[in-house]
Amino acid sequence: MDRSHFSPETQMLGYGYEPALSEGSVKCPIFQTSTFVFHSAEEGKSFFEMAYGRPGHEGEVPGLIYSRINNPGMEILEERLKLWDGGEACAAFSSGMSAIATTLFTFLSPGDVLLYSNPVYGGTHKFINNILTQFGIEVIGFRAGQSKKEVEEILVQSGHAGKLKMIYVETPANPTNDLIDIALCSEIAKKYSDVEKNVLVAVDNTYMGPLWQHPLKHGADLVLYSATKYIGGHSDVIAGAAVGSGELISKIKKTRTFFGTMIDPHTSWLLLRSLETLKLRMEAAEMNAEKVADFLSAHPKVEKIYYLGYTGKNNPVQQDIYEKQYLSNGAMLSFDILGGEKQAFTFLNNLRHIKLAVSLGGTESLAEHPATMTHVDIPDEEKELYHINPKMIRLSIGVENYQDLIWDISQALEKVQAPLAKPAEFI
Ligand SMILES: *Cc1c(COP(=O)(O)O)cnc(C)c1O
């Protein structure tokens, strides 16, 4: 039966799994095994030849050898995950960071230039600036919100534009929801590509999950995920993924085999379960986020809201990116509370339901303070540049009843004393 016209949410219930191969089990079992039995020595020989890319096996499907290379659960997860982004292939990883690190190490060599956007996830920033640079890779940052002309100027001024090998972006930027035009990155990549080198564009799409932004459709070559966030969706696993063309993903998988950064069988199985409700969870969260944003925008103790739905108001120049690139306003928003760190902390300490924790994209709502937590490592002058200030609070909105979320936010805001106004005699 041809099911290729089915939507991803339907495919999550069966695609890539054949019950007859597993005693008729409706659900894919957990293949908790490190190694697989060959039918014969000849078969083992041919599986190894295929795994090492020896000629003579064109068109054959490689068999299972060892779980660091492949495992049925991992394979089915990858088949399903790629569908949301419309990719040809997917590689699943033990964490978002291992997906990012393995991918960057696959395509970057000493002497290459990596152009990346700021702010990026803290772990990514450290990896790019502290690890890649140890291997002679030159890293050049630009800021989300800068124009194509400004970005190209930064690249040219480095004096190494000709060595550009990859553009790595995170959009919307965390925690400000600033936007980067993926198609423009792809134009820059094409301009610096030649017969010898194909400059790649990689997008960390964790913030939008696989539902609300499809970077491949805008010219990106690779989409990266921390599956710990919306894909896992229950704040109970650490995992990651890369999606792209068959050719690029097969190169990434070769590196993964030797780094050993693949996902484990149990986590694969948990993610297969998570994927069945991905759309339901994300849609519930996005509706809640809209209600919370509306509530905050009318609150006298709230100065500014960083929400994708307010792009036109906050950043009119980014409105066209918003319209062409985003399918939703998402469920991540930040706001500046009237005052500073003291007021922000009072708010966070008084939340009764929403948990004070980093991470995002889970069923439960979470709140945190970027300036002293997730983004503490960014130098102060850069924090200012990215608008990450002490009065900012980041919210990851979950699937609760929105009225309960608003009740919680409202009562915590009530506990906050606005900074002292000027004494009456000076007015
Ligand atoms: C969490 C996160 C990561 C890192 O993922 P882990 O699963 O924690 O390794 C990378 N990028 C973004 C945008 C994230 O939010």
Under a CB-based contact definition with an 8 Å cutoff, are residues 132 and 139 in contact? yes
Ligand 1 atom showing the smallest separation from residue 361 Cα: 15
pLDDT tens track for 171-214: 999 999 999 999 999 999 999 999 999 999 999 999 999 999 99
Residue 87 CA to its chain's centroid (Å): 15
For residue 421, pLDDT beyond 70: no
Rounded to whole angstroms, how far apart are CA atoms 65 and 251? 18
Q: Which of 222, 228, 263, 270 to mutate to test the pocket of ligand 1 (most atoms within 8 A of CB)?
A: 228
The rounded Å distance from CA 52 to ligand 1 centre is: 31
Residue keyed to tokens 């900012």: 392
Percent of the chain with pLDDT over 70: 98
Rounded to whole angstroms, how far apart are CA atoms 204 and 223? 6
| Cα separation values, 14 from 30, 73, 276, 283, 401, Å | 15, 13, 10, 21, 30
- Which one of 1.10.540.10, 3.30.1780.10, 3.30.70.890, 3.40.640.10 gives the CATH number of domain 8-33+71-275? 3.40.640.10
Predicted confidence at residue 346, as pLDDT, reads: 98
Query: Which of 45, 56, 374, 347 lies closest to 207, judged by CA?
Result: 374
Predicted confidence at residue 323, as pLDDT, reads: 97
Q: Let me know if the fold of 8-33+71-275 is the same as that of 278-414.
A: no
The rounded Å distance from CA 226 to ligand 1 centre is: 4
For residue 425, pLDDT beyond 60: no
Q: What is the pTM of this model?
A: 0.95
Half-sphere exposure of 150 (CA within 13 A, CB side): 9
Rounded to whole angstroms, how far apart are CA atoms 82 and 268? 14
Q: Give the residue, by CA position, lying nearest to ligand 1 atom 1.
A: 226
DSSP element (H, E) containing 242: strand 240-244
Q: Which CATH class is domain 278-414?
A: alpha beta
pLDDT tens track for 274-320: 999 999 999 999 999 999 999 999 999 999 999 999 999 999 999 99
Q: Which of 229, 267, 271, 368 to mutate to test the pocket of ligand 1 (most atoms within 8 A of CB)?
A: 229
Mean pLDDT for 81-106 is 98
Predicted confidence at residue 427, as pLDDT, reads: 47
Percent of the chain with pLDDT over 90: 90
Ligand 1 within 6 A of 121 CB?
A: yes
Question: In the structure encoding, which two tokens stand for residue 190, read together?
Answer: 């094409």
- The CA-CA-CA angle for residues 113, 114, 116, to 5°, reads 145
The rounded Å distance from CA 92 to ligand 1 centre is: 14
Under a CB-based contact definition with an 8 Å cutoff, are residues 285 and 397 in contact? yes
Rounded to whole angstroms, how far apart are CA atoms 424 and 403? 38
Ligand 1 within 6 A of 123 CB?
A: yes
Domains in the chain: boundaries:
8-33+71-275, 278-414
Ligand 1 atom showing the smallest separation from residue 228 Cα: 7
pLDDT tens track for 331-350: 999 999 999 999 999 999 99
| Side chain identity, residue 166 | M
Half-sphere exposure of 213 (CA within 13 A, CB side): 34
The rounded Å distance from CA 60 to ligand 1 centre is: 35
Sheet with 200-204, edge to edge strand ranges: 89-93, 240-244, 222-226, 200-204, 164-170, 113-118, 138-143
Ligand 1 within 6 A of 358 CB?
A: no
Ligand 1 within 6 A of 238 CB?
A: yes
The rounded Å distance from CA 360 to ligand 1 centre is: 9
